[in-house]
Amino acid sequence: MSKTSNAADRRGLTDAQRNAVAELMRVSPIADELGRRFTKAGYELHLVGGSVRDALLGRLGDDLDFTTDAHPDDILRVLKGWAESTWETGREFGTIGAQRHGMRLEITTFRSEAYDGVTRNPVVRFGDNLLDDLRRRDFTVNAMAVSLPDHRFTDPYGGLDDLAARRIRTPGTPQESFGDDPLRMLRAARFAAQLRFTVDPDVVAAMTSMAADLDRITVERIRDEFTKLLSGADPVAGLRLLVDTGLAVRFLPELPGLKLAIDEHAQHKDVYEHTLTVVSNAVRLEGGAEADFVLRMAALMHDIGKPATKAVGPDNRVSFHHHEVVGARMTKLRMKELRYPKDVTSDVVKLVALHLRFYGYGRGEWTDSAVRRYVADAGDLLPRLHKLTRSDCTTRNRRKAAQLASDYDTLEARIAQIQADEDLARVRPDLDGNAIMELLGVPPGPIVGRAWRHLKEIRLEHGPLDRDEAEAELLRWARDEGVI
């Protein structure tokens, strides 16, 4: 039976939430405009899914989702002359996209999609009514609709109750929902991270028993859903759910694998718990309005090399020598398998490789040359490396934590001082390639590259040279190498 928004008074929703849909219609007249066009053409139109959910949560964006009994060709005819632009990239799934007055609209034919249990792509079947369309949606909080232009509110599966309780349930049985699209299991964990919702125990049980079904989903869809999870407001909640249900082992086995490695400081339950703490710290430190996926992914992967490098010494102390090197290699392989872009992978891998570099600093071993190399190796990633290194300090020993923070404060101040003198962010040899070729009388080729790298090493070791000093060093090197 359909429930109306009048029932919201007894569901604990605030006035702002109860009025959210009406406010949506007021500030987004294009929804009513579009509804009138579909009605005039003899079709239904309903605002659905995340648009209704987000309106009720007071977080509606510039994207609106609609469903209709019109088929794609019919949708295009209704949009003609009204939409500023249209696109058909989702046509095979019954979806037509449009834009008007800065709003992006997606209009999808009523449908019922199911997997055959073998292939990775859904078989799309068009439906003919709103209630059946809502039943095939992933979760009850996404199975509510506002009809246009009359603003009738439809909630056949108790989505409003679940929204008030901040709970994730499925319209039908979880087994039915996840059988239709196994990616929904990963999406449940994403909502736990993104919306800070609790996943219903029956849903968790189904995620656990059906985890292997995730193997039917393309790696690109898994990657995109995982990226949204890690970029959520509380990624740790989603990560725990992935591990506890066995979903993580299907595409990111290194994460549950961390439970096998005991932290060498004996201050944490295990490296897994330490890693989740580092992710939380990174979220707290990242700043800015948007999530920093590269920083968060580096925090998640920074210690994945520990299980492979674990060793127990004669004194029974556990060590993980060179785990940052092994971890960087493992991170590269895993992100390649998940088909992340090369530049994103490269940045995460570099941060993992560098995350331990700081820990020799507090012993007073760093020369100005070491500081220059730290900055040069980090390059544009230096601000993220600062945050990752600080996030990695999870000791419960307050005096040790304070000392590490103080040491890093000192390092940042030292970097700033040398930066002011030497422009560390752009460390380059004191002679460029043209000057090298002119001075040595050589054409472009390997000799120029070798000379350039030598001068950069000198620059890192000793700081800037003036022109005469740089030329003298180049000539000395050329003589030693038999170039001249």
Distance in angstroms (rounded) separating the CA atoms of residues 204 and 211: 10
For range 458-468, the mean pLDDT: 76
Which tokens is 95 given?
Answer: 């979806």
**CA neighbor of 66 nearest in space, from 43, 92, 89:** 43
Q: Is the pLDDT of residue 484 over 50?
A: yes
Task: Please state, in angstroms and as integers, the Cα–Cα distance from residue 332 to each residue in 341, 376, 383, following that order.
Answer: 11, 21, 21
The Cα–Cα gap between 96 and 357 comes to: 51
**What is the mean predicted confidence (pLDDT) over 315-321?**
75
Confidence at residue 460, expressed as pLDDT on a 0 to 100 scale: 72
C-alpha span between 274 and 174 (Å, rounded): 32
Mean pLDDT (whole number) for 330-334: 97
- Kindly state the tokens that stand for 319: 């060590």
Instruction: pLDDT band for 98, please (50, 70, 90 cuts).
Output: very high
Pairing of strands 95-100, 85-87: antiparallel
φ/ψ region of 297 (left if φ > 0, alpha if ψ in -120 to 50, else beta) reads alpha
Lowest-confidence pick of 170-174, 257-261, 351-355, 382-386: 257-261
| Percentage above 70 pLDDT, the chain | 86
Mean pLDDT score of the chain: 85
Report the distance separating Cα 246 and Cα 269, nearest Å.
Answer: 20
Residues 184 and 191 sit within 8 Å (Cβ to Cβ): no
The pLDDT tens digits of the residues spanning 445-454 come to 888 888 888 8
The pLDDT of residue 395 is above 80: no
Most distant CA pair in the chain: distance in Å?
91
The alpha helices in 338-397, defined as continuous H runs, are 342-354, 368-378, 382-391
Residue 366 has pLDDT above 80, yes or no: no
- Confidence (pLDDT) at 370: 80
Give pLDDT, residue 307: 87
Tokens of 482: 């038999």
Q: Which three-class secondary structure string do you get for 41-96? A: CCCCEEEECHHHHHHHHCCCCCEEEEEECCCHHHHHHHHCCCCCEEECCCHHHCEE
> pTM for this structure?
0.80
Answer whether 232's CB lies under 8 Å from 193's CB: yes
pLDDT at 74 over 90: yes
* pLDDT in the model for residue 2: 43
Residue with tokens 């066009």: 37
In terms of Cβ atoms closer than 10 Å to its own Cβ (0-12, 13-18, 19+), residue 81 is exposed
Residue 268 pLDDT: 43
Considering only residues 433 and 354, tell me which one the structure prediction assigns the higher pLDDT.
354
CA–CA distance, 419 with 207 (Å, rounded to integer): 51
What are the E-state strand segments in 262-375? Answer: 311-312, 318-319
> What digits encode the pLDDT tens for the residues 407-433?
888 888 888 877 776 654 455 666 788
Q: Across residues 120-134, what is the average pLDDT?
A: 81
CB-count burial class (<10 Å; 0-12, 13-18, 19+) for 385: buried
User: Does the structure show a pLDDT above 80 at 116?
Assistant: no
Q: What are the tens digits of pLDDT across the range 180-237?
A: 899 999 999 999 999 999 999 999 999 999 999 999 999 999 999 999 999 999 999 9
The two structure tokens encoding residue 442: 């050589």
Question: In whole angstroms, how far apart are CA 132 and each of 92, 111, 129, 157, 206?
Answer: 19, 8, 6, 11, 22
Mean pLDDT is lowest, of 238-242, 289-293, 364-368, 399-403, for: 364-368
C-alpha torsion 214→218→224→226, nearest 10:
30
Confidence class for position 279, pLDDT limits 50, 70, 90: very high
- Please tell me which residue, 396 or 6, carries the higher pLDDT value: 396
- Between 30 and 174, name the one with better pLDDT: 174
pLDDT of residue 389: 92
Nearest of 210, 152, 154 to residue 177 by alpha carbon: 210
Query: Does residue 300 contact residue 230 with C-beta atoms inside 8 Å?
Result: yes
> What's the token pair of residue 458?
């000198």
115 has pLDDT over 90: no
* Torsion sign across C-alpha atoms 465, 467, 470, 476: negative
Residue-wise pLDDT tens digits, 27-45: 568 889 999 999 999 999 9
